[in-house]
Amino acid sequence: MENSEGQIIHKGEFNSVLRIYILMYVGFILMVSIIGIPLAIAWFCGVGQWYSRHYFDKLECTLTNRNLKFKKGIIVQFEKTIPLENIQDMSFIEGPLLRHFNLCVLKIETAGGSAHTANQMSLVGIKDAPIFRLKVLEQRTLLKNSQSNQTDNNVLVEIKESLLRIEGLLKENKK
């Protein structure tokens, strides 16, 4: 399939347990503060279930031949597209709560001039995260190799054109 950002290689799926993780994570944060306890009750009685279900339904991650695209959000929609050639590192993060739910965070770091300008993306709960990571890295390698080959071909064409001009000048000078 082809879209405006390239050919779709893989659509990442998210583990449905992520809904429960979101519900518990936010509920725990609310319970920690005394002010948040009444909000936590409302959160667990229905608001959190609605939010986590709709948040999960809006998650989308797509790997194309050129980009990695991630969408999320209910009220505020967040969409991030990272060119594959800018990806520097992909790492896994697992905390006790994530391990309990059999989830992990796939953190993607991109090129930047310093730590403050580098971009990153975190994918929480993506299914088969090691396989997804491998597909992204393989596609990045393919893209970089094709760009390198294209650059090499362009240089060879320029050299050929220069040699033809030199050959023409030499023929003119012999006359």
pTM of the model: 0.73
pLDDT computed for residue 169 by the predictor: 81
User: What's the CA gap between 13 and 6, in Å, rounded?
Assistant: 19
DSSP SS3 for 102: coil
* CB half-sphere exposure, 78, CA atoms < 13 A: 9
pLDDT computed for residue 56 by the predictor: 94
DSSP SS3 for 93: strand
Q: Name residues whose C-beta falls within 8 Å of residue 132's C-beta, 6 or more positions apart in sequence.
A: 10, 12, 63, 106, 123, 126
Per-residue model confidence as pLDDT tens for the chain (175 residues): 555 567 889 999 999 999 999 999 999 999 898 888 899 999 999 899 999 999 999 999 999 999 999 999 988 999 999 999 888 889 989 888 888 889 999 999 887 645 555 568 889 999 999 999 999 999 999 988 886 666 667 777 778 788 788 888 888 888 6
